[in-house]
Structure 1
Amino acid sequence: MPSRNRHVIAVVLLVPVLAALALWAFAWPASRIAPRDLPLGVAGPPAAAAQVEKQLERHEGAFEIHRYADEAAAREAIRDRSVYGAVVVTRQGPELLTASAAGPVVAQFLQQAVGQQAAAGGAQVKTVDVVPTPASDPRGAALSAAVLPLALAGIAAGAVVTLLGLRGVRAALALLGASALVGVVAAGIAHSWLGALGGDWWAEAGVLALSTLAVGGAVAGLAALVGPAGTGIGAAVVMLIGNPFSGATSAPQMLPEPAGAIGQWLPPGAGTTLLRSVSSFDGAAATGPTLTLAWWAVLGLGAVLLGSSLRARRTGSEPAADRRELSAVA
């Protein structure tokens, strides 16, 4: 069979497979959004709190209940990102504390679930948003929408470095410089212009830069080790797994297992979690995602340097082998 015919058949078969994979990766998590061991606090007098906890446990597997002595402790836990919300039993009735900045979809779900539960008992729930989203982005749409552009910026950085033939230290410096500029530009747009971020400007720029570097380093590093195919592999992992599994539109605990956990080990998910912490929670619970992004960045840059070193050794050994062959013939 001529090679051109094989290429046509490969395209005809490969494109539907890629389309099916992309549809599964994006549609499956979105169609299965529901709480799975979602951290939720319960506070108030022991007897009343135990009753609320028992009612919440009827949602089997939905909540991971944390008990707190009073409302102040529950609020502190929300600000520390230990829980997404809390039900506080008061003399005036149940009160729901939420944090829409941690995920508007989660806050909305808690209002519906706790509100319906209270209505069944003939009570009304007062809702207090302890850590709200910025007024300029009440639905958190801008932050969620930033995941894809940052992923594309990282992929573009890694691909351009590869296409231009940059290697070793030059490639690493190019990735570092491009990522730093992306962080500054993105913070300028998201924070200064759109008002979608409300934390320290430079800290947010650093998170955006580190997220870009983690992706760009991974793409360029794979390309340095395995060749041009590495660019496609890195881009596919980020776009088809990292992006839809990031939990940016909801929360990791709202995605089907193990998508939420996998997403937090990839740059888009870790970057989203870290950006939320820095933007609205004064950096609370930032250690884990920071280490994840740093790990990706270090491994990626290390792979870039290693690939350049291996290539230099190969090219250096070829002339030596040619000289030995010529001397043997002579």
Structure 2
Amino acid sequence: MAIAAVALPIVIALAVMAFAWPAGRISPRDVPVGIVGTGPASQHAVAALTRAKPGAFDFHLYADRQAARSAIENRDVYGALAISGHGVTVLKATAASPSVAQLLTDVGQQLADKATQQIAQQKAAGAHSPAEPRKHAAAPPGAAQQKAAARQGADGADSPAEILVKAVDVVPVATEDPRGAVFSSVVFPLTVCGILIGAFVTMARGLARPRHRVLTLLVACAVAGLGVYLVAQGFLGALPRNHVATWAILSLDLLSVSATAAGVIRLLGPAGLGLSAAVMVFVGNAFSGATSAPEMLPKGVDHIGQWLPPGAGASLLRDTTYFDGNSGAGHLAVLALWSVCGLTAVMCGHWVTGEARGAKSSATTSGELLPALPRSGGALPVRRHAHAHARRHDDDG
């Protein structure tokens, strides 16, 4: 009772912290962002962002907008900023991360506002320069107004009074899921469903042979992945492209979790179910970055999440659905590694547990001794099979 009263609150507190701490510390950390051009305006923008948000962005320079668009489509950067004297163009990819896309739009607006303020200050300083009164005094009537109008027209042609912001969504999210909420809602239940599949396959009495368990895992994950895809795309329209590949990734995501859970349960028994749930749900889901981006999570957490099936599966699903699999090779390798290790444990786990049971059984049948009888005098221990043989001999006699 005392252990449960102390241990359960600690476990619950840790579980809440695992989800709440990353969510409460969301902030850009080395987010890959492109900068178009190497002119003075681009250099000033990079310097200003570096001073305002140190360590927030990892800038990549591109010669033109087409190169920046290609980098976004290849998942090299989340977006790009094209800055000129007339405006700021934000190239973003809502499909990569709606939160990062909104962040880049806000950054572009901040740069535009700052540039507009600088232009206004320059014009105000030019209008109140001390040389103006002497020039006006020497000039004939009406000449000052003509010069002021000409200067205002020239300034308006070279530098507008307000720098405008234009946002271009290079890779937009599905129209039925404009905020990406359906996508994250689809990803999170996969972890719990995978653990349930692994627990059922391992504990089912009708699946005694390892190869039957492996086959059941493969079939169950494929069918479940198809069901998830039919709901997410057929009903909600959240996974609009690369249909077959998306279904395969959903199935592989389920397999990586379910095979790992089944293998751990096969090796550790019922305790493996709790261990699998703790690692996959309270660590994997919480550190996956599916609702924002891995680069928005605290340092270290982003790497942990991407090495676990929930984080790798969410990233690979996003890469496959919207970016034709670009930058998804590493995530695919992570899911395949977890799947292979889990299936190997399911296939070969009975050797470890079987040898232990066999050793215990052989020790019991051949070498276990009966306890001494509570009689007066010294009672010698008698082997179990010898005692049974003596009783049969006495009955026969």
- TM-score, length-scaled by structure 2: 0.78
Counterpart residue number, 1:259: 301
One-letter code of the match for 2:168? V
Q: How many residues align?
A: 323
Give the secondary structure class of the aligned counterpart of 1:125: strand
Alignment partners' CA distance in 1, 2:10 and 2:356: 37
One-letter code of the match for 1:273? S
Counterpart residue number, 2:256: 214
Percent identity for Structure 1 against Structure 2: 44
Cα contact 1:168–1:309 (8 A) shared by 2: no
Cα contact 2:41–2:84 (8 A) shared by 1: no
Alignment partners' CA distance in 2, 1:71 and 1:22: 45
Counterparts in 2 of 1:324 and 1:113: CA distance versus 1, 3 Å: same
Query: 1:38: Cα distance to partner?
Result: 0.3
Query: 1:70: Cα distance to partner?
Result: 0.6
Counterpart residue number, 2:340: 298
Counterpart residue number, 1:118: 112
- 1:34-183 to structure 2, matched below 5 A, reads 34-58=27-51, 59-90=53-84, 92-122=86-116, 123-165=163-205, 166=207, 167-183=209-225
Cα contact 1:86–1:98 (8 A) shared by 2: yes
Alignment partners' CA distance in 1, 2:272 and 2:38: 58
Query: 1:322: Cα distance to partner?
Result: 5.2
Alignment partners' CA distance in 2, 1:154 and 1:12: 30
Alignment partners' CA distance in 2, 1:91 and 1:121: 9
One-letter code of the match for 1:280? Y
Alignment partners' CA distance in 2, 1:304 and 1:134: 39
One-letter code of the match for 1:117? L
Query: 1:316: Cα distance to partner?
Result: 4.1
Matched, 1:246 2:239: no
Counterpart residue number, 1:9: 2
- 1:274-313 to structure 2, matched below 5 A, reads 274-313=316-355
Give the secondary structure class of the aligned counterpart of 1:60: coil
Counterpart residue number, 2:244: 202
One-letter code of the match for 1:133? V
Query: 1:162: Cα distance to partner?
Result: 2.4
Counterpart residue number, 1:18: 11
Single out whichever of 235-244 and 40-49 deviates more from structure 2: 40-49
Alignment partners' CA distance in 2, 1:37 and 1:319: 58
Structure with greater Cα Rg? 2
Query: 1:197: Cα distance to partner?
Result: 0.7
**Structure 1 unaligned regions, length at least 5:** 1-7
One-letter code of the match for 1:158? G
Give the secondary structure class of the aligned counterpart of 2:231: helix
Give the secondary structure class of the aligned counterpart of 2:95: helix
Q: Deviations over 1:5-45 (max 9, x none)?
A: xxx22222122112211111111111111000000000124
Query: 1:56: Cα distance to partner?
Result: 2.1
Alignment partners' CA distance in 1, 2:228 and 2:245: 12
Alignment partners' CA distance in 2, 1:12 and 1:294: 40
One-letter code of the match for 1:313? E
Q: Deviations over 1:50-80 (max 9, x none)?
A: 2222222121000011111110000000000
Q: Deviations over 1:212-256 (max 9, x none)?
A: 111111111111111110111011111111111100110000011
One-letter code of the match for 2:61? R
- TM-score, length-scaled by structure 1: 0.93
Alignment partners' CA distance in 1, 2:4 and 2:293: 36
One-letter code of the match for 2:190? L
**Structure 2 unaligned regions, length at least 5:** 117-162, 368-382, 390-397
Single out whichever of 90-99 and 237-246 deviates more from structure 2: 90-99
Alignment partners' CA distance in 2, 1:151 and 1:322: 42
Counterpart residue number, 1:5: none
